[in-house]
Amino acid sequence: MTTGPARRRGDGRRQAHGHAHTHPHGAATATGRHRGRLVAVLVLTLAVVGVQVVGGLVSGSLALLADAGHMLTDASGLAIALVAASLAARPATTTRTYGMQRAEVLAALVNGLLLAGVGVTVVVEAVRRWDDPPQVAPGVMLAAAAVGAVANLVGLLLLRRGQRASLNLRGAYLEVLADLAGSVAVLVAGVVIAVTGYQRADALASLAIGVLVVPRAWSLLREVVDVLLESTPRGVDLDEVRTHIRRVPGVVDVHDLHAWTITSGVPVLSAHVVVDDACLAQNRCGEVLDALGSCLGRHFDTTHSTFQLEPVGHSAHEPAHHA
């Protein structure tokens, strides 16, 4: 938890000098910490795409080609996430004070759009082929789908630990999970075709893949939009934050309280904190900042916070402020 220097604007009496702490703008982001796992899943995904494309062309299975297309989109998303993680690790500058950490969120946006595009395309193609289903060779279809299912299970295990910390890893995890469901759908369709000869099972499996993909894409895009709109991070209740701030000795009130997310795992908070005259007269501003930082870091796990300490009545000199 890091607190910035408390500044007294407009009254010229006291400032809390010497209390600024450094904070690692260029610290590794959540995606960067799991880069090795992303690389492993990327290589695995590309290998399976090759197997499924060949299997789909040989067997004539739309479901297998759809799953291959979905996995190719996954591979593109993983590559984008890796590039974004490298950009996000660059140090901050005077023109980009948080570095390029937001690049991870933009990568997740592209990934979500690609995922949605694949899902819609698969659904449309499945509907189009319903009336004239092609003949599918179930043996090749089953073999390629089995390879995909095993690879997806390995990918899920690799990404499971990091998917709750990063939007990019979460997007990759959801895509691999949808791939696994898609591979299972292809396996089921292959068995149905092999046993009954019902060729429309392939189109049904394709439709199932599309239906699984689209909601997951929507979920990821919604989270990305929340970050880009600088919405309050999930799990952070500003009313509760305000209550904790007011409990700090010397604090009278708080206003202009904001909380947002720079990128996955990097929440930020700022506030104007009104302190009593005794705190200013006894030069205890540093103690108040320490208490604020300790309290919010312990209860809300905010990576970086900036507090402006003000005397009672100072808000009357400021433009209209937020809650």
Model pTM above 0.85 = no
Q: What would the CATH number be for the domain defined by 34-228?
A: 1.20.1510.10
pLDDT given at position 16: 37
pLDDT given at position 191: 92
Q: How many CA atoms lie within 13 A of 176 on its CB side?
A: 29
Each residue's pLDDT expressed in tens, for the chain with a length of 323 residues:
344 433 333 343 333 333 444 444 434 555 556 677 778 888 888 998 899 899 888 888 888 888 887 788 778 777 876 776 677 677 878 888 777 777 778 878 887 888 888 888 888 888 888 887 778 888 888 998 899 899 889 888 887 776 666 666 777 777 788 778 788 888 999 999 999 989 889 888 888 888 877 887 888 888 888 888 888 888 788 899 999 899 989 898 999 899 888 877 678 888 999 999 888 888 888 898 888 888 887 777 776 788 888 888 776 566 655 55
Q: Please, what sign has the CA dihedral across residues 56, 143, 170, 85?
A: negative
Burial of 38: CB neighbours in 10 Å, binned 0-12, 13-18, 19+:
buried
Please count the other Cβ atoms lying within 10 Å of the Cβ belonging to residue 237. 11
pLDDT given at position 133: 79
Domain range annotation of the chain? 34-228, 238-317
pLDDT given at position 132: 78
Q: What would the CATH number be for the domain defined by 238-317?
A: 3.30.70.1350
